[in-house]
Amino acid sequence: MTADGKVATAGREVTTFGSPHDKKALYALRATADALLCGARTVEETGATLGTGSSEHKATRRRAGLAPEPVRVVVSGSGSLSSEAELWKRPGAPIVIFSAGNASKPNLQRLRDLEAEVWSSPGSQVDFPAALAWLAGRHGIRRLVAEGGGRVNATLLAADCVDEIRLTWVPRIFGGQAAPTIADGPLAACLADAVRFRLVRVKTVGNERFLQYVRADRSATSHPAESTPPPV
């Protein structure tokens, strides 16, 4: 995010603005995950394919006993994820769609025809605790990396489904009330209701800072290889 807390410009013309080191850190984190999760709008706007990156990262997964590639999960409440999204053009890892119970049946069938597995929530909103429980049972998912966007992040936080946050702080200012933030959605009506985290790691590379937070009432979920030294 930018120094003023934005993850894209107001018109979403700019959605990727980190350094090459930031991208490398993202792929290193993906290499530790059983599954990656992203909102449909973010997938479409950024051209994300939710891949693992280089052969080095694939080797890291093999050494950890993980599948060659993580399961790719897209949140599309209405089932309207575009058939032209770059995600479909990259073969390999399974694609799972989380949709709401009132999603268009033709939309869901179209996604199934694209060889996605569709899980539909029993209600009009995606029930993340139920969806993640199903994902764990169906695909054995234990460690999931959620990559936004802001509305998905806010919903996960509100559902108490976030154990850890990895954040790259970039020295830019986007401004604008309409520019999306890391958590775009109602979470806390007052300070007492805020979701609390504690900082366990800070690393500075160039002009960027890489921050790791864990829930204030939980332990870090990092693998042993990802040590969490005290802040510097």
Q: Return the residue matching tokens 């909102």.
A: 39
Sheet with 117-120: strands ordered across: 117-120, 95-99, 71-75, 35-39, 144-146
Q: Residue 26 region, left (φ>0) first, then alpha (ψ -120 to 50), else beta?
A: alpha
Round to the nearest angstrom and report the end-to-end CA distance of the chain: 20
Q: What is the pLDDT of residue 224?
A: 38
* 164-196 per-position pLDDT tens digit: 999 999 999 999 999 999 999 888 889 998 999
**pTM exceeds 0.85 for this model:** yes
**What are the pLDDT digits (tens) for 194-205?**
999 999 999 999
pLDDT at 229 over 70: no
| pLDDT 10s digits, 117-170 | 999 998 899 999 999 999 999 999 999 999 999 999 999 999 999 999 999 999
- The class that CATH gives domain 20-215 is alpha beta
**How confident is the model over 73-88, as pLDDT tens digits?**
999 999 999 999 999 9
